Amino acid sequence: MLTYQSVDVPCEVPTFCIDPQSDPSLRRGDETHWIKLNHQHTFSEQDAIEFAFPDELYNRDPEACATRAILCPVNKAVDALNDTIIQRMNGKEYTHTAFERFLQNDQQAGHHDEEFLAAQEESPKPPHKLQLKPGVVCLVLRNMSRRYELYNNEKVIYKGPRGEGMIEVKKVNGGASPWQTFVLPRINFTIQPRNVRGLKFNRCQYPVKPAYAETVHKSQGQTLEKIVIEIRHHFFQHGHLYTALTRVRYGCDMLLLTSPERICDGPPICRNIVYRKLLE
Residues 230 and 201 reside in one and the same domain: no
Can you tell me whether residue 179 is helix, strand or coil?
A: coil
- 260: CATH: 3.40.50
Domain end: 210, 230, 258, which one?
A: 210
Pick the more confident residue, 51 or 261. Answer: 51
Half-sphere exposure of 243 (CA within 13 A, CB side): 20
Residue 57 is part of which domain span? 15-86+213-279
| Backbone phi, psi, residue 19, to 5° | -115, 95
Residues 57 and 157 reside in one and the same domain: no
Q: What is the pLDDT of residue 139?
A: 96
pLDDT tens sequence across 142-153: 999 888 889 999
CA distance 266 to 174: 44
Query: In Å, how far are 61, 170, 178, 180 from 175, measured between CA atoms?
Result: 17, 12, 9, 9
Amino acid identity, position 223: T
CA distance 76 to 237: 16
Domain end: 184, 210, 236, which one?
A: 210
Amino acid identity, position 111: H
Q: pLDDT band at residue 244, thresholds of 50, 70 and 90?
A: very high
Number of domains comprising the chain: 2
Residues 128 and 183 reside in one and the same domain: yes
Domain end: 210, 241, 271, which one?
A: 210
What is the pTM assigned to this prediction?
0.83
